[in-house]
Amino acid sequence: MKEKRRPGRSDLEAIRGQILDFACARHDFKLESEDFPFDGNWNGVFLIRFRDNPVEDKLYCEAPLGEHFIRFGLDLEVDVQVWQQEYENIIRKASGYDVAVYPSLNKGGGKRHCRLSTRAWIPNFGQRIFGLTLSNLIECKNTILFMLSGS
């Protein structure tokens, strides 16, 4: 059986180009920062501006060299007391979208910082996959925020 070729630096550059070329009716993308170390792993931060809302959000992208996936992440900040009461519902809601929740350690502030994360497999990667993956991630975040606004 022929072994599949593992993605290299040129593949990651092509993926980054696809993300930058991606056009969606509801979002504008701009590369805020890019980290492409010598080992080839790519970490990029895109600013997403919602056309129907002045809110600007950051989309984090990771593409580890040699891996067959690219990981996308959005940040979520929740009041510590709300997190303590609702964390099970937040995780349940996120799992319905196939999105992982990574809470950070709380360093005494009034907010709990979390990263919502999902990934797409590089062999299937294209603008359509990116659009579906990102739309799912954004919809998950909006659903959680809507759920918490009623708390």
Residue 43 resides in a domain: yes
pLDDT tens string 21-69: 665 555 666 666 666 655 556 777 777 776 666 677 888 888 777 677 8
- Nearest 5°: CA angle at 133, between 139 and 111? 50
Residue 1 resides in a domain: no
Distance in angstroms (rounded) separating the CA atoms of residues 110 and 73 = 22
Residue 14 resides in a domain: yes
- What is the predicted pLDDT for the residue at 74? 92
Are residues 75 and 115 in contact, defined by beta-carbon separation less than 8 angstroms?
yes
Residue 136 resides in a domain: yes
Range of the domain at 56: 9-149
- 145 forms beta bridges with none
- What is the predicted pLDDT for the residue at 146? 92
Residue 3 resides in a domain: no
Residue 39 resides in a domain: yes
**DSSP sequence for 104-147:** PPP-SSSEEEEEEEEEEEGGG-SHHHHHHHHHHHHHHHHHHHHH
- What is the predicted pLDDT for the residue at 68? 76
Residue 101 resides in a domain: yes
Q: Tell me the average pLDDT across 70-83.
A: 89
Number of domains in the chain: 1
**Type of residue numbered 90:** I
Domain with residue 115: its CATH number is 3.30.1460.10
Residue 2 resides in a domain: no
Q: Give the pTM.
A: 0.77
